Structure 1
């Protein structure tokens, strides 16, 4: 599908007012997207696990206006008006207006809340923008009742991407690809697609325990971080590496080889941070406790032969990934030896989920 496929024809229904609620999860990338072109197009393909417990719940109330001049919206986060979010939503509406031409015809109230700390490296923009995109698509579905579910899902992912790149991977569950890759048919730079190849039972209901090393705001925004890849001395090799690692994971998902899975995932996490440490300006987003946790992971694997591994987003928090069949022993280890490195001993026990859900 192309961008033109998402520009609607004349709507067949009229809606005066209403309310819709969606819950959308965050995701954790295994092969990282870092660097982008114009219009939120990724510089390299990525693949992620969709999470379950880390999610955003968004309610969109809408009422028809007398005139269609300008975007009219209010934002509430955790029950409080949030003016600091306005510029991001304004920019989002400007980007998607051509695809949702009704935006200026309604007055919107957006009420949103997270099950996890905002802006702490757990991809709150992914869950937040995907939830909002789904709410807007539910309104468009009312205006166009003949819209089918496949188009609804594709367009929701397409719109979410224009708000936050990784948000396009939060619509569907399980493993989700985003970005064109020649060896995975159907992949697109415009939206995420559910991974369509064979996946070994080892990766079903995979566990993700998130250690909250630092719950504060990130040192560098994702937007700035992506921009630092423009002119980065190692950028082109990094983009090539992402394609290579996707090919490796395709075979790993089929075979169920957890040791090889660990090599790819941990390398990707460290490469992401290496890109930031070697950019201009440079950033060091890991904290001392991040490194303590990583070394503990290495020790645990060497001692037990189990398959605990780590990955990182653009922050200090650590995602600990492990198969469900090793959950009991691994979680006991995490609780007894890892929580000392977390802010106030806090962590989130999560697992791979089934994607976004409409609540009302």
Structure 2
């Protein structure tokens, strides 16, 4: 069983003056939702997600060793980095990176030795309501791990990916599910071998052919600023009257999914996925303070999907993140019919008729 101390490195055997790495990392969509966390980004319940393929962050990390013999007063022993988003300085992102570096310094002791330039961009529209913190923190963690592997070439691949997921989690909880694998579990679950609160793991059981290249079309209902941040939302679970039952439900649903991923029963799969989405939103509606994150068009889309599914028996379903946008999930062999349905009946409910076609992907990739 891994502990956090296992990710504190032994003295490095190599050194490097400067260089750069570039990685892409995707967003992911949770099927069993993580909602509520303990200290140090530890989840209150386990979750499992599909890794996406097209919605991703591409981050280039350039680094150079600091050699100023007498640094300016007040800058000694500080993190040094510039942050560019789509080629332009992005000052309002910097506090999040600063906080991330503070959290991970004991696991990457070289951080204060270098000046970094973090140049990042998303393949999906900015402010489109796709969770970019997961893909962004995952991509940054992969770059930092590439630097550490240069300093410690003996590092195994297994350790490399586990630690990358561990670090990404300290930047954004769900980022740990964007590192490696098509279906990723995060959080201790008795029936998932190797599962951990500290990092995501590739789903160890067989995945039925029905889920191969599973499709996710994201309907952009509302591209505005989140009504409530994820951090605030998670905190509302601390005193929530239904929290303990919800956490137990997540374990139960994850156990059911283990069997469904193996036997490919899409009807039962749909029941759990949609129930999880609505449960997430019901927890927000019954917290104090309370929030309604759906928009009228979110409900219109859900009802239209239900009607279409009942009439056609096509196994299409929805899930939601903590916002108004709708992820439409369906098997690849139904792609033509479902996309036609989306164009005919759902696009009018999207802001500026915008939607994004995605599918299951494999995780982070070095470029």
Using the size of structure 2 for normalisation, the TM-score is: 0.96
Give deviations 1:312-344, integer Å, cap 9, x for gaps. Answer: 001111000000111111111111211111111
Aligned residues: 359
Instruction: Give the corresponding residue for 1:84.
Output: 92
Q: Deviations over 1:111-158 (max 9, x none)?
A: 111112345542211000000000000110111111111110000000
**Aligned alpha-carbon RMSD (Å):** 0.9
Q: Aligned pair in 2 of structure 1 residues 145, 169: CA closer, same or farther (>3 Å)?
A: same
The counterpart of 2:143, out of the listed 106, 130, 135, is 135
Alpha-carbon distance in 1 for matches of 2:64, 2:266: 51
Q: Which residue of 1 aligns with 2:290?
A: 282
Q: Name 2:38's counterpart in structure 1.
A: 37
Query: Where in structure 2 are the equivalents of 1:118-133 lying within 5 Å?
Result: 118=126, 120-133=128-141
Q: Is this contact kept in 1: 2:53–2:361, CA < 8 A? A: yes
Secondary structure at the counterpart of residue 37 of structure 2:
coil
In the alignment, structure 1 residue 59 sits paired with structure 2 residue 60 = yes
1:21-57 Cα offsets, whole Å, 9 max, x none, are: 0000000000000000000000000000000000000
Structure 1 unaligned blocks of 5 or more: none
The question of 1:342 aligning with 2:343 is answered no
Q: State yes or no: 1:309 paired with 2:317.
A: yes
For residues 216 and 345 of structure 1, the distance between their equivalents in structure 2, rounded to whole angstroms, comes to 15
Residue of structure 1 equivalent to 2:198: 190
Q: Is the 8 A contact 2:213 2:331 kept in 1?
A: yes
The answer on 1:158 being equivalent to 2:166 is yes
Which of 209, 216, 222 aligns to 1:208? It is 216
Unpaired runs of 5+ residues, structure 2, are 69-75
How big is the shift at 1:183? Answer: 1.3
Residues 82 and 116 of structure 2 are in contact (CA less than 8 Å); yes or no, is this contact kept in structure 1? yes
Which deviates more from structure 2 when the two are superposed, residues 74-83 or residues 50-59?
Answer: 74-83
In structure 1, which of residues 258, 263, 276 is the aligned counterpart of residue 271 of structure 2?
Answer: 263
Aligned partner of residue 177 in structure 1, secondary structure = strand
- Structure 1 length normalisation: TM-score? 0.98
Aligned residue number for residue 21 of structure 1: 22
User: What residue is the counterpart of 2:101 in the other structure?
Assistant: 93
Residue pair 1:71, 1:103 contacting (<8 A) in 2 also: yes
CA shift digits 1:3-36 (9 cap, x unpaired): 1110001111111001110000000000000000
2:27 alignment partner, SS class: strand
User: C-alpha offsets along residues 169-224 of structure 1, whole Å, 9 cap, x if unaligned?
Assistant: 00012100000001112100000000011211001110000001111221111111
Whether contact under 8 Å (2:129, 2:220) holds in the other structure is no
After superposition, the C-alpha distances for 1:257-290 in whole angstroms (9 at most, x for unaligned) are: 0000000000000000001111111111111111
8 Å Cα contact 1:173/1:352 also seen in 2 = no
